[in-house]
Structure formats: C-alpha cells, structure tokens
Structure 1
Amino acid sequence: MDDNVRVRLETELATNVLTLANRMHAAAHKISSSIPLGKGGLVHVQQLFLTAFWFKSAEKWNESWHALGRAVHAANEIGMPPSHIS
C-alpha cells in the first residue's frame, strides 16, 4: 500500500491498517457464517476463497487450508463444475 494512502486511512479512521484489516476480516467472517452453503452464490464462493488467501498472507496455514476447503465445498453446492487439468 502506498504510504500516503496508508497515512490518510490511518488518520481518517483513527486506527492502523492492520487493525482495520483484522476488523474487516472479522466482519466478513461473521456475515459469511450466516449464509448457508449453496445460498450465497458465486459471491460467497469468492469471499471464502479470499478468506483463504487472507489467512495464507497472514501465515495462518491451517486456517487457510480450512477456508479453501469451505470455498470448494460452497462452489460444489452451487453446481460449479470442477476444473480438469490435462
């Protein structure tokens, strides 16, 4: 993140960007947990995948693996066909 953007965000929101990222992640997790699998559509699958990526970037490997599993399960629930690598 550009330093000017970071400073502006931290000043306007009166918090540092890491705290803000953690708050946003917690809010997304809370909302996502309220959506039954198969009912959130592609947006829910994307959110679950991004959660896995967020955990990976925070070096939370187990959490990342489980979030990725939830994303795959949600994709299957909405009928997304598995990709075949040939």
Structure 2
Amino acid sequence: MVAGITPIDSSGGLGKHLNPAIAEQNNASIAMIAKERGLSLIGQQKQMTDEKLTVNGVHLDACAYKEWEPAILGGLGTELGCSIAGN
C-alpha cells in the first residue's frame, strides 16, 4: 500500500517554489507504479479539500492531520476489509 502526495499550497512558504501540476503528475506516476506492482493506493487529494492545510505550503499543519488521518485509515480499512478505530 502506498499513499500519494498531499495537496500543495503554492500561495506561500515553501509551496510557492513548487508547481502543484508537477505534484499531480507525480501522483499519477505513483498510481501507475502502484497498479503495475499490484499495490493499493491511498489517494489523499480528494479527501483533503480545505484551502489551508499546511504550515508552509508543503508540510501539513495540525488541523490537516484531522483530514489526513481518516483518509489513511479509510484506505487501510478498505484494503484490510475492516473498520479501523479513529475512522
């Protein structure tokens, strides 16, 4: 099981030096490699929709982890066929 790259906020901090389109391309590559290798992919982009999720455009802040955790646990639960506490 692999996880994609979390959303990037290109409006400031470290994020202003990164191109969100490249992150999307990298996520597409991660998805392709996961599929080729028979691995499940936890895509966090769709679950994490709040505008401000980072402390510096890249690294998640405390509030963002409240969205990240259910995305990760939900993916694990789906893969394992069970419900995981906290999700």
TM-score bracket relative to the smaller structure: 0.3 to 0.5
Task: Report the TM-score, using the length of structure 1 for normalisation.
Answer: 0.33
Larger Rg computed on CA atoms: 1
Structure with the larger strand share:
2
Structure with the larger helix share:
1
Higher relative contact order (CA 8 A, sep 6+): 2
